[in-house]
Amino acid sequence: MDGAYDDRDGKIWMDGQLVDWRDANVHILTHALHYASSVFEGERCYNGKIFLGTEHSKRLHFSANQLDFEIPYTVEEIDAAKDAVLKANGFDNAYVRAVAFRGAGQDMGVASKKNPVRLYIAAWEWGNYYGDAKMKGAKLDVAKWKRPSPETEPSFAKAAGLYMICTMAKHAAEAKGCSDAMMFDYRGYVAEATGANIFFVKDGEVHTPLPDCFLNGLTRQTVIKLLKEKGITVHERHIMPEELDGMQQCWLTGTAAEVTPVGQIGDWTFEVGALTRDIAETYEKLVRS
């Protein structure tokens, strides 16, 4: 599927109705546009089945609750709506985006209790998030922005507003010829990339940042489970920047990223080694099984 995202053929699910793609619009005074009262999920459908679809729907509800609103559809209704979107567009392999947000209503200030909550679901065909980096290893910048303290924002929600610094960090990275950027947290520990969790390998063991101020991704959780099933030791812990000198391999995980090897972060370099390739292949087989 090519072209601008607002000018395509297809159907989008809007509050219980499948509408033509180009008609899926919102009013300029939609609360979420002004105050970021929006949460979303990114999911992938493989061979006609969304991987961890129900888990994503549950997390969408959790995220909404973190932002102090309720989605007016059950998990089961959201799952059914996602399937309807895929069927309406004839997709067997696609990316699915569900977004819930405070719409336009009687309130147009920071408070928005009188405004309705909307739920829209779209799907489109999408290849590798990092292009050919999935084979040869992505190159990452080091972001100047840091993941903030959980005392300052709802760190564990998949909320649109939390991606503002990610957008700026990724733009800066792309300007340097990088695919993405690694971010530190407010304490200076290694945190994640702009839209993916990060893993490192040292002497056959895996180290990954403790998700205590950022999203504990569903793909991250899946990969940790796969590693442990293989008998590989996984350390979920705080990682200081200077420790990257001794790390031998690195990869990113996320619904969009899937499992993508990393060849370079700033001045640090990593091999696309056997363990990285093995876990990427294992994950690929799982999602398509």
**Cα 82 vs. chain centroid, distance in angstroms?**
17
- Minimal CA–CA distance to 188: which of 213, 165, 206? 213
> Strands, DSSP E only, in the chain?
11-14, 17-20, 38-46, 49-50, 94-102, 117-124, 138-147, 180-185, 190-193, 197-202, 205-209, 234-237, 249-254, 258-265, 268-269
**Cα 24 vs. chain centroid, distance in angstroms?**
23
Active site residue 158: yes
d(CA 99, CA 81): 12
d(CA 213, CA 173): 22
**DSSP per-residue letters across 20-63:** EGGG----TT-HHHHH--EEEEEEEEETTEETTHHHHHHHHHHH
**Cα 49 vs. chain centroid, distance in angstroms?**
18
Q: Which of 11, 134, 139, 158 is an active site residue? A: 158
- Phi/psi region, residue 231 (left: phi>0; alpha: psi -120 to 50; beta: rest), is left
Radius of gyration of the chain, Cα coordinates, nearest whole angstrom: 19
Determine the 3-state secondary structure of 113 from DSSP: coil
d(CA 154, CA 214): 9
Indicate which residues carry an active-site annotation.
Answer: 158
